[in-house]
Structures are given as structure tokens and as C-alpha cells.
Chains A and B, each alone.
Chain A
Amino acid sequence: SQTIHQWPATLVQPVGSPLSLECTVEGTSNPNLYWYRQAAGRGLQLLFYSVGIGQISSEVPQNLSASRPQDRQFILSSKKLLLSDSGFYLCAWSGVRENEQFFGPGTRLTVL
């Protein structure tokens, strides 16, 4: 069966520090991968998606970037965090043919 992991579960970082959040998927090949941010009361905002290694599409211009160095690894990064980057970050995957998405447990990021 497929599983999706996110690391770390929680993170507290000062403004201006770098960020690296990791998402890995097991049990499937060539998944579509997604990064979402969820701010309180604002639903899910799609940040990036990837249909293959090295292929990243950005949905919202911002302080963040994403990379996909391996087929089942998706990384969300920032060089300098802003206060507004605080939120709950969710990674998800879907199959190539179906767009039913499966979500990871999330990372709670607090920028102070």
C-alpha cells in the first residue's frame, strides 16, 4: 500500500532563516506531487505541483521554492523565511491517471 511521509511534524524558525520541508511517498511510482499551505480559516492554497523529477510548476509567486530530486521525494524550501510563511504545510500525491489526492500528515511551521 502507498504511504506518504512529511518531515518534520512541527518547526519553529526565526524570520530570515532558511527552510527545508521534506515529503516522501512509498509504494507507488511516478506520482504527481503537490505542496499546499493551509492558513487558519483560509482553506488550502496550492503552492507547487510536480509531474516528474525536476518538473515543478508554481501556482503562487512567493518566498518559497520546491524541488523534486527523486521520483518520490518533494522538498519545499525557502532561503529566508517571512512571518507570513507561518502555516500548516501539506504534501499530497496522486496517480498519473487519476487526480484523487492522498495527503500526508502535515508540517506545522511557526515563524517568529
Chain B
Amino acid sequence: AQSVTQPDIHITVSEGASLELRCNYSYGATPYLFWYVQSPGQGLQLLLKYFSGDTLVQGIKGFEAEFKRSQSSFNLRKPSVHWSDAAEYFCAVGAQRGGSQGNLIFGKGTKLSVKP
């Protein structure tokens, strides 16, 4: 079955520290992979995506993620966290084609807290 696992429900890091949020997926075909961020009471904003090519993708707000096919992982990283990064982060996987097959499967999210 297709699924996305974000093993960490809640992570707390100090401001300025590095961050890695884990995401593992189970998907039968070559996946499209996404990371979204959600601030409290807001919609989801796309941070970055992987479709093909270079397995290290750069996103907005200084985030990057690396696709590791052998590990079925797509972990999100940031070298230095800012207080404004406190939010909930969602990993998602989907088919390469759009249309009726374009549905995304989301993980349950990781809530990030940032200590001053």
C-alpha cells in the first residue's frame, strides 16, 4: 500500500541549530515527492519538490531535501533554523502523472518548535 511516514511527531531545536525532518515513503512507482509547511491556522505552502534529476533539491526559506531511492526517504534539512521556522511540516508523495492519478498521499506531519 502507498504510504508516507513521518516518524517524528514533534521536534524541538534551538535557534541557529541544524534541522533534519525525516520522511519515508512506500510507493509502487517512481514517485513525485513534496514538502509542505503549515503555520498555525493557515493553509499549506510548498517548500520544495522532487520530480527527477538531481536528488538534492533546494527549496524556499533555505530548506533542502535529498531523495534517497535505496532508503525510500526524502528528508528535509536546514543548516540553521530561525524562530520563524516554527510550524508543522508535511511530506507528501504522488504519482508522476496528473489528472485523476494526481492525488497526493500525505504524512501525518512533524511539528517543529524553536527554542530561543
Contacts and interface: CB of A to CB of B under 8 A. Distances in A.
A43 B99 contact: no
B13 to A, nearest CB: 20
Interface string B9-52: 10000000000000000000000101010000111111001000
Interface stretch (A11-19, A74-82, A101-109): A101-109
A95 B98 contact: yes
Interface residues of B, number: 27
Nearest to B108: A43
Contact of A99 (B9, B90, B102, B109): B102
B108 A42 contact: yes
Interface in B59-116: 90, 94-104, 106-109
A91 to B, nearest CB: 8
A51 B107 contact: no
Contact of A98 (B43, B98, B103, B106): B98
A60 to B, nearest CB: 12
Interface centre among B32, B36, B102 (most CB of A within 10 A): B102
Given A34-B103, A98-B98, 15 more contacts: A43-B106, A44-B90, A49-B100, A92-B44, A94-B102, A99-B32, A99-B95, A100-B32, A100-B34, A101-B34, A101-B102, A101-B104, A102-B46, A103-B43, A106-B42
Interface of A: 6, 32, 34, 41-44, 46, 49, 51, 57, 59, 88, 90, 92, 94-106, 108
